[in-house]
Amino acid sequence: MNWYRDISTPEKRTLWSCFAGWALDGVDTQLFSLVIPTLLVTWGIGKGQAGLIGGATLVAGALGGLLAGMLSDRYGRVRALQITVVWFSLFTFLSAFAQNFEQLLVLKSLQGVGFGGEWTAGAVLLSETIRAEHRGKAMGIVQSAWGFGWAGAVLLYTLVFSFVSPDWAWRLLFGIGVIPAGLVLYLRRNVVEPPRAVMPGASTRQALPTVRSIFDRSVIRTTIMGALIGVGAHGGYHAITTWLPTYLKTERHLSVLGTGGYLAVVITAFICGCFVSAWLQDRIGRRLNVILFAVCCVATVNLYVFLPMGDTAMLFLSFPLGFFAAGIPATLGTLFNELYPQGIRGTGVGFCYNFGRIVSAGFPVLVGHMGNSMPLGSALGIDAGIAYGLVVVAALMLPETKDRPIAMVAANAATRA
């Protein structure tokens, strides 16, 4: 942790503010997956309706990420982060008062807008605050906050459902979701807006970006390759998380998937994967780090699919899968931010990350269709190979950005334009 002692107090405040925001975001988001069984019984809704709420939240999160990126370019990184934190806290809280499926669908979708926006705004703020040699470590640590938030959601769920009847427990959990709004008070007092660079002779109005700006010929290659990485990274992750449990339950007949031990291993693996990726990307570079974790993801998935295993082996082997799956998203925030000039950085990062989120919905569907004509395990292995192969090819088409000063990106982009 020598690097942590090396960074300044403003850098540390920004790091832990973004960490707290993403962890609290993780708590609010993961609570829904935990209360689904209760909603199925309490409201008598079907699994398809519960899945629709989850899907709508993800799509809304992707749109929110793009919107937050544009807002951060126009009105500042700190202000955009404040808006997104208040937004997802408010609509998580209001979800506690939903009276039917339709109301919850709308409220959770609106919550998703803030959920997606918080990552984008926080990632851009952190990238412009932390010095280049430590940026990867800081970004990876913040990404690990999702695992801590996930664990916090499990603990809250266990505690509340132990003392409150299920009919009211899920409402209390959503009501607690208003707590992250208090983070805004800290942001207002302690986190400083990064300085904005304005090109000589350009007015503030001229410097304001539009969505079209990330498709300018000076950055269009970056946008296309970054979007493809986002598609592959999210596509592989969602295909695995959607179909691997089904495959292991129905074709391998494993029972460990529903245990607390399995969940603890997966969460721990996610956090460890983020930490290792954080350290590694500042050592070997962003591009090589992404490629390494993508290749390891493909290898691990195929080991799951083709190796015979029992419950005990499954419990232990779930660690490398969660570990490698975490390494790619832990790198994307650093990589995407270092590819764009400051004036359009939020818009570019928001697009690359969240375009991938939307398109990735097709990968679980692809596995399902392929599974009709071949073993589900084979379909999953092929799909993972396609998704993470896309990540590798796109990463090879991008420059290495390790140790690149943020200001240099703006200067280079301006020169090319």
Print the domain residue range for 184.
Answer: 7-190
Quick one: pLDDT at residue 206?
42
Is 12 part of any domain? yes
Asked whether residue 375 carries a pLDDT value surpassing 60, the answer given is yes
Quick one: pLDDT at residue 414?
35
- Say which DSSP state 252 is in: S
* Number of structural domains in the chain: 2
Residues 247 and 312 in one domain: yes
State the pLDDT confidence band at 42, using cuts at 50, 70 and 90.
confident
Q: Determine what percent of the chain is predicted with pLDDT higher than 90.
A: 35
Is 106 part of any domain? yes
Quick one: pLDDT at residue 260?
67
Q: Per residue in 299-327, pLDDT tens?
A: 888 887 777 777 777 777 788 988 998 89
Highest-confidence range of 67-71, 192-196, 201-205, 300-304, by mean pLDDT? 67-71
Task: Please enumerate, as own/partner, the contacts of 243-252 that have beta carbons within 8 Å and a separation of 24 or more.
Answer: 243/364, 243/367, 243/368, 243/371, 243/376, 243/379, 243/380, 244/301, 244/304, 244/321, 244/380, 246/376, 247/305, 247/376, 247/377, 247/380, 248/304, 248/314, 250/376, 251/375, 251/376, 251/377, 252/309, 252/314
Residues 136 and 252 in one domain: no
Instruction: Name the 3-class secondary structure at 90.
Output: helix
Is 297 part of any domain? yes
Is 198 part of any domain? no
Residues 387 and 259 in one domain: yes
Residues 121 and 151 in one domain: yes
Q: Determine what percent of the chain is predicted with pLDDT higher than 70.
A: 91
Q: What angle is formed at CA 46 by the lines to CA 41 and CA 50, rounded to 5 degrees?
A: 95
Residues 185 and 244 in one domain: no
Residues 123 and 46 in one domain: yes
Residues 164 and 272 in one domain: no
CATH, residue 156: 1.20.1250.20
Its pTM stands at 0.84
Is 203 part of any domain? no
Quick one: pLDDT at residue 223?
94
Residues 158 and 257 in one domain: no
In whole numbers, what is the pLDDT of the chain averaged over residues?
84
Is 195 part of any domain? no
Is 129 part of any domain? yes
Is 196 part of any domain? no
Asked whether residue 87 carries a pLDDT value surpassing 70, the answer given is yes
Asked whether residue 207 carries a pLDDT value surpassing 70, the answer given is no
Residues 242 and 351 in one domain: yes
Mean pLDDT across 4-16: 90
Q: Per residue in 380-417, pLDDT tens?
A: 888 889 999 999 999 999 999 888 877 655 434 433 43
Residues 238 and 278 in one domain: yes
